[in-house]
A and B are shown apart, each in its own frame.
Chain A
């Protein structure tokens, strides 16, 4: 099988509109949470979120940097975030000027979990109040999940595989894993891979709150709400943004002297076959997903120094994941660090697995692991595991594992290491 490496990174997060700003703020233990500003949330059970900040904010996002004004008007926020993150990644990789021959072998696999919910919501109101003749002609293609891959392929002329994963909160990790396989199987030499989400709208917040998935006890102290593994955790905080990486066949990257961040060496997938929203009570899907990824990587369990956990801050999920990690890693668990960056940027849903994979890659690069914020009183099941409470930690990081689990009982794990 052909080897697959990461040669470009792009991030839009609640803590920054680029990779370095987001990462520096993560390492500095900042929180991206705050009261919802996008709409009047005063009648919602959950009134907080980790929003991408407006352009005039210290680390705000300026959509006009990489997305045409016309496209911004026509599409939902998740597509705007995705186009920008993909642009950052392809610029970082130095691949904006590929020949036609190269572009025939370059593709996109950028998905989302929910897609254009804000636009579906607002256009439904237009339909109801003004009738079908006022529904935007851009309604459909401005909301469809595969339209990040579509837009990005048009912008950069990428004529290889054009794919978009939809596996709820596992989307970002599956996108990278699937795209890596396309390169390994010789379908492409270069893939832009990742995920995005922008579902902070009345229907999105109400829907997740009604499913009892969101934090509702910290509306007055939003920065304290996302607290994975802590005894007082009560649900996730919704985030938004995008993460996209450039995946490239190793010899292709080496031949052009590309900067290589990491190699994708293991990918695992599994299904819980248990419940639509609740994780399997023994964490069996999580266990099998991680087990497959580590086995494929050819590494020993003792080689993995850092796990970026799914860790959403829900009462059930966090400890089940930790239990699965404990069973898989056995005694090796004492030597690794595991944290949840969702404590800082919230849960980016379909973007989470890609954004968190980028944090894993940066942990490899900088030999530092990001903290789990608000971990004041760890749950009983957390004893003996370094969950990196409160502050980032300098340590050896040889290989990393990223976990993402989604509604429907879908699980994905990625293992990466430096080249």
Chain B
């Protein structure tokens, strides 16, 4: 597992209060992890803080799974 994946999963566990083993790369924030649209806004903010990336709203809308987040961050972090 990549370092990015580890840090993303840690943030998801902390923010959504879900068990770590449920946060698989295929997990959907809304369908599998009980998030609502505002939770995703908050998660995206936390990713921006953690990785020093900017995630514009149109990109954020496309992040629906844990893997989407990891991929976006790996492609954009400095």
Contact = CB atoms under 8 A, between A and B. Distances in A.
Interface string A68-108: 11101100000000000000000000000000000000000
Nearest to B17: A69
Interface residues of B, number: 11
Interface string A131-165: 00110111000000000000000000000000000
A55 B42 CA distance: 27
A155 to B, nearest CB: 14
A70 B45 contact: no
B34 to A, nearest CB: 8
B45 to A, nearest CB: 6
A68 B17 contact: yes
Contacts of A134: 45, 49
B43 to A, nearest CB: 10
B27 interface: no
B63 interface: no
Contacts of B59: none
Interface string B27-39: 0000000100011
B15 A70 contact: yes
A70 B38 CA distance: 12
Contacts of B39: 70
Contact of A137 (B14, B16, B17, B41): B41
A66 B54 CA distance: 36
Interface string A344-381: 00000000000000000000000000000000000000
A75 to B, nearest CB: 12
Nearest to A71: B17
A73 B38 contact: no
A137 B38 contact: yes
A66 B34 CA distance: 18
B41 A70 contact: no
A136 B38 CA distance: 9
B17 A138 contact: no
A136 B17 contact: no
A68 B16 CA distance: 10
Q: Which of B14, B17, B41 has the most CB of A within 10 A?
A: B17
Contacts of A136: 42, 45
A78 to B, nearest CB: 20
Contacts of B45: 133-134, 136-137
Nearest to B41: A137
Contacts of B42: 136-138
A72 B38 CA distance: 15
Interface in B21-67: 34, 38-39, 41-42, 45, 49
Given A70-B34, A136-B42, 9 more contacts: A68-B17, A70-B15, A70-B39, A72-B17, A73-B17, A134-B49, A137-B42, A137-B45, A138-B42
Q: Which 9 A-B pairs have the closest CB atoms?
A: A69-B17, A137-B41, A137-B38, A70-B17, A137-B42, A70-B16, A138-B38, A136-B42, A68-B17
Interface of A: 68-70, 72-73, 133-134, 136-138
22 contacts: A68-B17, A69-B17, A70-B15, A70-B16, A70-B17, A70-B34, A70-B39, A72-B17, A73-B14, A73-B15, A73-B17, A133-B45, A134-B45, A134-B49, A136-B42, A136-B45, A137-B38, A137-B41, A137-B42, A137-B45, A138-B38, A138-B42
